[in-house]
Amino acid sequence: MENAILDFINYIKNTKNASGNTIVSYERDLKKLLSYLSGMQGVTDWESVTSANINSYIQYLERRKYAASSISRSIAAIRAFFQYLVREKMISENPAETIRPPKSEKKIPVILSVDQVTALLSQPDKKTNKGIRDTAMLELLYATGIRVSELINLRVSDVNLKLEYIICRDRTRERVIPFGHAARKALLRYLNGPRSALIAGTDSGCLFTNCQGKPMSRQGFWKILKNYAQDAGISGEITPHTIRHSFAVHMIENGADLHSVQEMMGHSDISTTQLYLNMNISRMRDVYAKAHPRH
């Protein structure tokens, strides 16, 4: 049964060009399903799996207090996997066809204030190569609202310092995102010496590397951000996406239109960007309620 999972993972990797995160999470979710089916349901082949087996697994995840978002991702993996098995004629019927993800409430993203962002950006030690690199990463992240995966995959050739924009590429398209003078200044300082010292002759074209000259990892950047957030006195769980959310809300607060923010952030659906407008309206109501004398 595990061979079928590996075949499916190779399929979404090589044929569907799935992202690295999707590949890792789908493989993990499907192996957890297999462990449950074989260990607790006595299932020995995929043809024998029923919708009752899958529903039982979903209930098992709910009893284990998995987040609704995690269960929804597992269901997406299961549905895609069984569609693949039917298409490849490994099974005759799809037992996951009627499975639906649980309804989950959309959590309001954590947003930093402008003062908190300023405090965060002031934390790196700008007298060290690492601090200069970290300043460039944080300034560029806040200046553009890009995802952490896009940040760490940027190449030097993706940066146009003269016209102040970067090019971000995904599997289907590329987008041009402007940045301002603060980010340009930080990038110039980083590229004018500190980057060469960090890569130490191992240049692969990556814009940002770790201190060993290897490409920066998601986990590595998360750790950097977490430490600086603590140093800045910012409480709560701060992630790279917190900076992305803050970028969007601050842009809208200062007059940016939704379609421009949608394009810069790479949202395929305007409704995703609409969330930030709603958040901004909510914040304005709070300010009004606290400040207006006749409220």
Side-chain half-sphere CA neighbours of 48 within 13 A? 9
For the entire predicted model, the pTM comes to: 0.63
- Give a yes or no: residue 93 inside a domain: no
- Give a yes or no: residue 109 inside a domain: no
29, pLDDT greater than 70: yes
Domain boundary among 52, 87, 122: 87
- Give a yes or no: residue 125 inside a domain: yes
- Taking alpha carbons only, the member of 205, 223, 204 closest to residue 130 is 223
Confidence band of 288 (pLDDT split at 50, 70, 90):
very low
What is d(CA 96, CA 49) in angstroms, rounded to the nearest whole number?
9
Q: What is the average pLDDT across 68-88?
A: 90
- Same domain assignment for residues 153 and 267: yes
Give the mean pLDDT of the chain: 86
| Domain harbouring 79, CATH code | 1.10.150.130
pLDDT recorded at residue 223: 94
- Give a yes or no: residue 103 inside a domain: no
As a whole-number percent, the residues of the chain with pLDDT over 90 amount to 49
pLDDT recorded at residue 107: 65
- Same domain assignment for residues 125 and 240: yes
233: left (phi > 0), else alpha (psi -120 to 50), else beta? Answer: left
- Same domain assignment for residues 156 and 70: no
Q: Domain residues for 284?
A: 114-291
- Taking alpha carbons only, the member of 225, 208, 141, 211 closest to residue 177 is 141
Q: What is the average pLDDT across 147-173?
A: 89
What is d(CA 232, CA 269) in angstroms, rounded to the nearest whole number?
34
Side-chain half-sphere CA neighbours of 113 within 13 A? 8
- Same domain assignment for residues 19 and 55: yes
- Taking alpha carbons only, the member of 99, 65, 59 closest to residue 82 is 99
Digit-coded pLDDT (tens) for 216-257: 898 999 999 999 999 999 988 888 989 988 888 888 888 877
Q: What is the average pLDDT across 173-193?
A: 92
| Domain harbouring 200, CATH code | 1.10.443.10
281, pLDDT greater than 70: no
What is d(CA 30, CA 40) in angstroms, rounded to the nearest whole number?
15
269, pLDDT greater than 70: no
- Same domain assignment for residues 246 and 150: yes
What is d(CA 249, CA 171) in angstroms, rounded to the nearest whole number?
27
- Give a yes or no: residue 96 inside a domain: no
Cα-based distances in Å from 105 to 67, 76, 102, 108: 11, 18, 10, 9
* Contacts of range 95-100, beta carbons closer than 8 Å, 24 or more positions apart: 95/49, 95/50, 95/51, 95/53, 95/54, 96/51, 96/54, 97/51, 98/51, 99/51, 99/54, 99/55, 99/58, 99/75, 100/75
- The pair of structure tokens assigned to 246 is 């803050």
Domain boundary among 42, 69, 87: 87
- Same domain assignment for residues 162 and 283: yes
- Give a yes or no: residue 101 inside a domain: no
Domain boundary among 71, 87, 103: 87
- Same domain assignment for residues 74 and 118: no
- Same domain assignment for residues 57 and 134: no
As for how many domains the chain has, the answer is 2
pLDDT recorded at residue 32: 93
